[in-house]
A and B are shown apart, each in its own frame.
Chain A
Amino acid sequence: MSEMKKIKNLKEFSTSADRFEGANLLCPGCAHSIIVREILNATNDPLILSASTGCLEVCTAVYPYTSWDASWIHIGFENSSTAIAGAEAMYKTLKRKDRLPESCKGKSPKFVAFGGDGATYDIGFQWISGCFERGHDMMYVCLDNEVYANTGGQRSSATPIGASTTTSPAGRVSYGEKMNKKDMVQIMAAHGSPYVAQVAPNKWKDMIKKIQKGFATEGPVYINAMSACTTEWKFAPDDTIAVSDLAVDSLVFPLYEIENGTKLTITYRPKNKIPVRDYLGAQGRFKHLFKPEYEYLIDEWQKRVDDYWEYLQRREEAGV
């Protein structure tokens, strides 16, 4: 294995040469590209990437342009994980038979698949599950913006309860999405994956640490990256980092990691815990929850977040 890139502080990190290019067509203020940049800059090793259909794929590969300065596979909605697993299997075989081209010898390429929450939680789920069961040495990154943003904001199974989307609109008879969000991190941990983590781009240091740990881990790694969506969460483009901060500090997106399927560690504890109400209030998709008839949902939400935080802390304490 090659040496890990040393990133002591942000100044040192800023000397990285980006392998992701501007003039992609992602919305102004999109968190997807912040996440992708942080992941790509976390290593200097060659990268083999793929992306499931979603905002990231269609916006970074608008013919005749590509925004990737590394090998990148454009593939269907469900199979970015299997495409990258196939590439990884081929690499391993060629290496074993000593048939790698000269230019590829002595390097340790990293295999990373990107997918949105639709591609991860719903459409590509069985493919990802298969890859994790087979134990490919790869990383799967879910860019979790809790909605099918690319097709105009339909609900996915990552959409949290109460959110208004185009297929679960809030109005006179409904408060929006009725189902709770699926806990994908725990599901992937239950596959026995050696490393599973939840990250947020606004906590860059925590994120880089986890990504590098993921790269150093042999076997399938799952990263759930919170990606605040200015278009579908309905906040101003310049508030991306502020909203991400609210999500992390209100513990709606707790940052933690799970090793070998069981050992849970909380990696970030907010100094000042913010009420969930503030997080919801910053986004247009939860506007209707502040009407008197739906306000009980906010209290329920706060209780759910508190309970989950309690659960994480207990698991961390117990080391299981």
Chain B
Amino acid sequence: MKYLGWDELLPGAILFSFDEEMEKDAAEVLPENRPYAETNSYTAYVGDWRVLKPVYNRDLCIDCQFCWIYCPDVSIISRDKKMIGVDYDHCKGCGICVEVCPTNPKSLLMFEEQVENEKALAQWPEKE
């Protein structure tokens, strides 16, 4: 992206979140349908902050959505009341989702960043 100088920005140094105006307020448009601008941090990547990553096990999940509400980085993707996965572009690996997960065994667990998700799912612990 080209960085604009102070005198090239719109007066008031306005940054736009979206490229075009939406018919509805963003509160009624899901992220996949939004015309994100380059200047929206949605297009940025902080995945390299992680040391450990959360891996999600659909088979154990009860869709309680605790991970969704307590995720500080909007990285738990929930659609139609169902948890469908982790957004690894924005997840910083804090591990809150794993801590608040109530199932036994947990349906979200932290694994080393380099472990592939399939391998992580294969070594999931048994019920205690």
Contact = CB atoms under 8 A, between A and B. Distances in A.
Interface in A167-216: 201-202, 204
A306 B63 CA distance: 38
Contact of B17 (A43, A62, A69, A202): A69
Contacts of A33: 72-74
The B contact surface, by secondary structure, is loop
Nearest to B26: A69
Interface in B72-115: 72-75, 78-81, 83, 87, 89-96, 98-100
A64 B15 contact: yes
B99 A239 contact: yes
Nearest to A207: B69
A9 to B, nearest CB: 9
A202 B26 CA distance: 25
Which among B15, B38, B98 has the highest number of chain A CB atoms within 10 Å? B15
19 contacts: A11-B64, A22-B41, A23-B41, A23-B42, A23-B43, A23-B46, A24-B73, A26-B72, A28-B72, A28-B73, A30-B72, A33-B72, A38-B69, A46-B25, A60-B41, A61-B15, A62-B41, A63-B3, A66-B39
Interface of A: 10-34, 37-38, 40, 43-46, 60-70, 201-202, 204, 230, 236-242
Given A24-B73, A66-B17, 16 more contacts: A15-B81, A17-B31, A19-B26, A22-B89, A23-B73, A30-B72, A33-B73, A34-B70, A43-B27, A61-B15, A63-B15, A66-B15, A66-B39, A204-B69, A204-B70, A238-B98
